[in-house]
Amino acid sequence: MVWQQVYDPLGNMALSTLLAAVPVVVMLVGLGFLHLKAHIAAAAGLVSALAIAVFAFGMPAEMAGKAAFLGGLTGLLPIGWIVLNIIFLHQLTEENGSFKVLQDSIAGITEDRRLQLLLIAFAFGAFFEGAAGFGTPVAVTAAILIGLGFSPLAASGLSLIANTAPVAYGALGTPVITLAKVHGYDVGEVSAMIGRQLPFFSLMVPFWLIWAFAGWRGMKQIWPAILVTGVSFAIPQFLVSNYMGPELVDVIAAICSMGALVLFLRVWKPAEIWTSVSLKGHETDGGKAQAPVAPAKHDRATVIKAWTPWAILTGFVFLWGLPVTKNYLNSIFAPKFAIDGLHKLIEKIPPVVPKPTAESAEYVLNLLSATGSGILLAAVVGGLVMGYGIPALLKSYGKTLWLVRYSLLTIVLMLALGTLTRYSGLDTTLGLAFAATGMFYPFFGTLMGWLGVALTGSDTASNVLFGGMQKVAAEQLGLSPNLMGAANSSGGVMGKMIDAQSIVVASTATRWFDHEGDILRYVFFHSIALACLVGLLVTLQAYVPPFTLMVIH
């Protein structure tokens, strides 16, 4: 029996919106203010979402349970699978000492902690976002930063802030391609429109990142290096997105940015070397912050050997991200399971969609093509290269699984919550509140994208969720559909740093377990402030010449 979503169950949109927000508020308050363990806060949010979906929004209880179950499966694969295997690789490199050599080699490029942040958190992270996405860049960069001696709060929070501007083109352009495919946008036009919004923030975020770490004075001292990093990323991002397409935007821009910064540091040095490993104003936070020490010198062969596992990882992640690889591996094994009692039995209704539309509910067990499988294979190959035997690899994998057990449980619960809110219509009720803002819609429509990523943990999922609503609202208000479709994705990238699964990935990568609330409280201001700035830019592009000249109709 088909169930149609209800978006105003209380007959008062304001009250219905407040009710729909309860599960998210429960989880965030539990994490950020009540200091609950992450899996307990996620479980509380899920229980409240089940109650509200069933008793207030009228969703059949069996459907609600199955929607949560589907979300839990998605939490294990692909998200949890990535976290588990990247931590496995990191464990291997730590146990045999090669990670210490890698740290020394990075410090050999620059001992300045601010410049290390630009190189690792922003540029190197952007490459992994472009190649794989879905939590990979935060897992990799946070693990490297904690190994370099950054405090856990700095390593976690700054990795999350840095992983913003590249997100819209993550996983070889998946969010943009999905937005176009699902909602009928022209992929070239919407890619170009996003590429006329995000380069402003690709230039801004490196400055913001260093300001968040070292304060205004610390940022001013290295402004030439920050400018080089941002410009060498923003210009390729604009050019590739506008003249090539969305697939290789981040990969090319990240390589340009890394190369430009390394070359620049050969001819320019800061007057003062910044050695603090803690966030300015948070020197007592972060637990196991290490005092920086002068890097040891290693011969070229030792350095190459230490970087080899990470080079292997880079190669495998990029290879696994290619559509031809995914298609081939999926042709071998990728069974698709329709969730009986849920698949095509829930309908979205106007004004969210032009006509009642059935929601699919299928789980694809794409174990071979999942990014986490590429990471696992890279870890095994890297482990063999490092001299591990198969028994030692199996033992280390078991230890890693035990280490991240609660993180995996948290991700499962959070994805269950996010998926339930989607199928029950709770998130759509929240989105409709933004869509009712009239002439202010360019600003609040951008925040709708931010909300979508904060709820789902994915720019791709946010585009699926709200991309159609953005198009309908834009046409009703006489705005460019491409502008608002792009705004959904561009605004969404700033929600990435506060989505629960990203925070859990960061806390796991830094081994700072049970401190997800500390991370959330730190990054929340940065997230909402940057999202509002994106909203202001979109508003200018909607109404104010010459910004309107950037808009593709």
| CA nearest to 441, candidates 541, 539, 537 | 539
pLDDT above 90: percentage of residues in the chain: 61
pTM of the model: 0.84
Q: Is 337 left (phi over 0), alpha (psi -120 to 50) or beta?
A: beta
75-86 pLDDT per residue, tens: 888 878 887 888
Q: Tell me the two tokens of residue 499.
A: 């989505």
Residue 311 has pLDDT above 80, yes or no: yes
Range scoring the smallest mean pLDDT among 27-41, 190-204, 207-221, 265-279? 27-41
Sheet with 346-348, side-by-side order of all strands: 3-4, 346-348, 357-359
pLDDT at 514: 87
The span from the CA of 256 to the CA of 236, in Å, is 8
Q: What are phi and psi of 173, to 5 degrees?
A: 80, 15
pLDDT band at 36 (very low <50, low <70, confident <90, very high): confident
pLDDT at 432: 85
DSSP string, 71-121: HHHHIIIIIIHHHHHHHHHHHHHHHTTHHHHHHHHHHHH---HHHHHIIII
The span from the CA of 527 to the CA of 36, in Å, is 22
Residue 115 has pLDDT above 80, yes or no: yes
Residue 161 has pLDDT above 90, yes or no: yes
420-472 pLDDT per residue, tens: 988 999 988 888 888 888 899 999 999 999 988 988 788 988 887 788 888 87
What does the pLDDT average to over 519-534? 96
What does the pLDDT average to over 132-149? 85
* C-beta of residue 105 within 8 angstroms of C-beta of residue 310: no
| Mean predicted lDDT score pLDDT of the chain | 90
Residue 288 has pLDDT above 50, yes or no: no
| CA nearest to 490, candidates 443, 436, 526 | 443
Distance, CA of 184 to chain centre: 24
* C-beta of residue 86 within 8 angstroms of C-beta of residue 143: yes
CA distance to 49, 165, 408, 426, per residue, from 72 (Å)? 14, 28, 10, 18
Distance spanning both ends of the chain, measured CA to CA: 40
The answer for residues whose C-beta is within 8 angstroms of residue 157's C-beta and 6 or more apart is 212, 279, 506, 519, 522, 523
